[in-house]
């Protein structure tokens, strides 16, 4: 049953598995203390979803904000990467403890899972995360996930839990990702401007939709902002997962916002196969190839990418690495797993398949990227 209305997110038939992402500004007050009363009510809503038969995975921010206060760090612990990492190390204990305590009041077991970007970019580790989350949910636990801020360096950070939540949604085969924000959805222009209206449903994150986001986190406590929420919606969409943004600030925010359809729902274009979902959500590519107009048209028809249509190769990728496919005008058309390393691609590019065996010195593969390992963007 495709999700195209917000109330479906409370229906276990339409949304058997939900990821709920809670931002720092909701969890931690301006005084640096956890907002216990609000969180207690939210956990009540999570317990109600569980009682209806929905699996729930929580993606919780707040470690840096909580730890910064305890360590007395300036700028909420976000003054430098070292500060953020130290703050997260201290704050994560408090954060996990809080979730565990409040979930236990409903007889629910919390399971802490800390992830880095690399854990989900690498296919084997991704599958391992999938298996672990599956086991936790099957055992009745509520995974409470955060980025492993303390070990993640700048290059391997998600940086924001919006994209982490979307990637977790993919890994867990969730039906929907619900982002609790400090705004009730996407507005057609800067929401502070007069006449700005909320966009209730988005089908396809087009350049026009991107232009509506103003970026930046309004609270200063988290790192998200609307830009990262749109990226999260794109990642979820490529995996066939719905994503919703609602205002998390009121007490018990979920039930009323969903029932009254106060939010923005990003409807996925369709259901994606598991490997393609992973590929579509990958954030880093090892290299790229550029293709001519004929190959671009063939890809759009669902064909594999043949070396004959490739005009340039960039990067030092290996066979099996994820690479981007650029069109003749430089736009990114697709991502896929290369059947060859970069040197072999360079040797084969522009050459018809009949010549490949002689060029390689061994039996060639059927394509440079097979269509089963390719996702159009
Ligand atoms: N992982 C960070 C934390 O726990 C939050 C990232 C974000 O703000 O999205 O504090």
pLDDT tens for residues 166-203?
A: 999 999 999 999 999 989 999 998 888 888 899 999 99
Band of residue 365 on the pLDDT scale cut at 50, 70, 90 = confident
The pLDDT of 71-78, averaged and rounded, is 91
Residue with the bigger pLDDT between 219 and 86: it is 86
Q: Which of 241-264 are b and which e, b meaning 16 or more Cβ less than 10 Å from the residue's Cβ?
A: bbbbbbbbeeeebbeebbeeebbb
What pTM was computed for the model? Answer: 0.82
Q: Which two tokens stand for residue 188?
A: 């057609």
Q: Which atom of ligand 1 is nearest to the CA of 24?
A: 8
Stretch among 18-22, 38-42, 206-210 having the lowest mean pLDDT: 206-210
Helix pair 123-138, 161-171: axis angle to 10 deg = 80
Q: Is 337 in the pocket of ligand 1 (CB under 6 A)?
A: no
Task: Please work out whether the CB of residue 45 comes within 6 Å of at least one atom of ligand 1.
Answer: no
Integer Cα distance of 248 and 21 in angstroms: 10
pLDDT tens, 110-131?
A: 999 999 888 898 888 899 999 9
The residues that bridge with 140 in the sheet, in sequence order, are none
Short-list 199, 211, 289, CA closest to 244: 199
Check: CB of residue 273 under 8 Å from CB of residue 333: no
What is 285-376's CATH topology?
2.30.130
How high is the pLDDT of residue 210? 87
Q: What is the overall mean pLDDT for the chain?
A: 91
Nearest protein CA to atom 8 of ligand 1, as residue: 222
Using an 8 Å Cβ cutoff, are 236 and 274 in contact?
A: no
pLDDT at 225: 79
Give the distance (Å) from ligand 1 centre to CA of residue 62: 6
Residue nearest to atom 2 of ligand 1 (CA): 61
Q: What pLDDT, on a 0 to 100 scale, did the predictor assign at position 217?
A: 46
Q: Please give the structure tokens belonging to residue 266.
A: 């990003």
pLDDT at res. 215: 47
With a 6 A CB cut-off, is 179 part of the ligand 1 pocket?
A: no
Residue 214 binned pLDDT confidence (cut-offs 50, 70, 90): low
Give yes or no for a contact between 264 and 183, defined as CB atoms under 8 angstroms apart. Answer: no
pLDDT at 250: 97
pLDDT of residue 6: 97
CB of 147 within 6 A of ligand 1: the answer is yes
pLDDT at 283 over 50: yes
User: Which CATH number does the domain 6-277 belong to among 3.40.190.10, 3.10.440.10, 3.40.1160.10, 3.40.50.300?
Assistant: 3.40.1160.10
Q: How far apart are CA 320 and CA 339, in angstroms?
A: 6
Read off the pLDDT of residues 244-275 as tens digits, 9 standing for 90 and up: 999 999 999 999 999 999 999 999 887 667 67
Q: Where are the domains of the chain?
A: 6-277, 285-376
Instruction: Assess contact for 176 and 244: CB atoms under 8 A.
Output: yes
Residue of 115, 147, 232 best suited for mutating to test ligand 1, as the one with most atoms within 8 Å of CB: 147
Q: Where are the alpha helices (DSSP H) in 36-186?
A: 36-52, 63-71, 81-104, 117-121, 123-138, 161-171
How far apart, in Å, are the Cα atoms of 366 and each of 155, 333, 354, 358, 371?
34, 21, 11, 15, 10
Ligand 1 contact, 224 CB (< 6 A): yes
Distance CA 273, CA 158 (A): 23
**Pocket of ligand 1 contains residue 92 by CB under 6 Å:** no
Cβ atoms within 10 Å, residue 316: 10
Q: In the structure encoding, which two tokens stand for residue 254, read together? A: 């979920």
Q: What is the pLDDT of residue 299?
A: 92
pLDDT of residue 255: 96
Tokens of 145: 């996930």
Mean pLDDT of the region 291-317: 94
3-class DSSP state of 307: helix
- The gap between the terminal CA atoms of the chain, to the nearest Å, is 24
What is the distance in A from the centroid of ligand 1 to the CA of 301? 40
User: Quick one: which atom of ligand 1 is closest to the CA of 60?
Assistant: 4
149 lines ligand 1 (CB under 6 A): yes
Q: Which two tokens stand for residue 334?
A: 């697709």
Mutate to test the pocket of ligand 1, among 97, 148, 149, 150 (most ligand atoms within 8 A of CB): 149
Ligand 1 touching residue 62 (CB < 6 A): yes
55 lines ligand 1 (CB under 6 A): no
What local confidence, expressed as pLDDT, does residue 208 receive?
Answer: 87
- Percent of the chain at pLDDT exceeding 70: 95
Concatenate the DSSP letters of all residues of 228-239 into one string.
Answer: HHHHHHHHHHHT
**Angstrom distance (rounded) from CA 162 to CA 229:** 6
Taking the centre of ligand 1 as the mean of its atom positions, its distance from the CA of residue 111, in whole angstroms, is 18
Query: How many CB atoms within 10 Å of residue 185?
Result: 26
Given a contact cutoff of 8 angstroms between Cβ atoms, the answer to whether 364 and 353 are in contact is yes
Query: What is the pLDDT averaged over residues 53-67?
Result: 96
Exposed / middle / buried, residue 289 (Cβ in 10 Å: 0-12, 13-18, 19+) = buried
Of 250, 262, 261, residue with least CA distance to 45: 250
pLDDT of 331 over the 50 cut: yes
pLDDT category of residue 216 using cuts at 50, 70 and 90: very low
Compute, in angstroms, the gap from residue 333 CA to the centroid of ligand 1: 31
- Angle, to 10 degrees, between the axis of helix 274-281 and the axis of helix 226-238? 160
- pLDDT, tens digit, for every residue of 13-39? 999 999 999 999 999 998 889 999 999
């Amino acid at each position: 049953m495709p999700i195209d209305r917000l109330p479906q997110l409370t229906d276990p038939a339409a949304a058997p598995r939900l990821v709920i992402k809670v931002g720092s500004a909701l969890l931690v007050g301006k005084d640096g203390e956890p907002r216990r009363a609000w969180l207690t009510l939210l956990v009540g809503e999570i317990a109600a979803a569980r009682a209806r038969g929905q699996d729930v995975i929580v993606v919780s921010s707040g470690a840096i904000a909580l730890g910064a206060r305890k360590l007395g760090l300036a700028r909420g612990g976000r003054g430098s990467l070292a500060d953020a990492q130290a703050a997260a190390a201290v704050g994560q204990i408090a954060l996990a403890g809080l979730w565990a305590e409040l979930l236990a009041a409903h007889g629910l077991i919390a399971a802490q899972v800390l992830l880095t970007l690399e854990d989900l970019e690498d296919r084997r580790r991704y599958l391992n995360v999938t298996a672990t989350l599956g086991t936790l949910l099957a055992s009745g636990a509520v995974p409470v996930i955060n980025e492993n801020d303390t070990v993640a360096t700048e290059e391997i950070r998600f940086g924001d839990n919006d994209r982490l939540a979307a990637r977790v949604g993919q890994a867990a085969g969730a039906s929907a990702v619900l982002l609790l924000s400090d705004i009730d959805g996407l507005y057609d222009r800067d929401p502070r401007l007069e006449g700005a209206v909320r966009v209730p449903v988005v089908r396809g994150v087009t350049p026009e939709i991107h232009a509506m986001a103003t970026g930046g986190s309004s609270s200063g406590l988290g790192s998200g902002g609307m830009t990262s929420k749109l990226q999260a919606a794109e990642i979820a969409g490529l995996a066939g997962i719905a994503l919703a943004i609602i205002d998390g600030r009121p007490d018990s925010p979920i039930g009323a916002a969903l029932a009254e359809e106060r939010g923005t729902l990003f409807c996925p274009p369709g259901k994606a196969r598991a490997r393609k979902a992973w590929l579509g959500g990958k954030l880093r590519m090892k290299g790229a190839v550029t293709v001519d107009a004929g190959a671009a048209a063939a890809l759009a028809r669902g064909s594999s990418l043949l070396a004959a249509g490739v005009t340039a190769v960039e990067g030092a990728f290996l066979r099996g690495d994820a690479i981007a496919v650029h069109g003749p005008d430089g736009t990114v058309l697709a991502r896929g797993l290369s059947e060859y390393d970069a040197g072999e691609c360079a040797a084969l590019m522009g050459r018809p398949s009949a010549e490949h065996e002689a060029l390689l010195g061994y039996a060639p593969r059927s394509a440079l990227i097979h269509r089963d390992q390719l996702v159009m963007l």
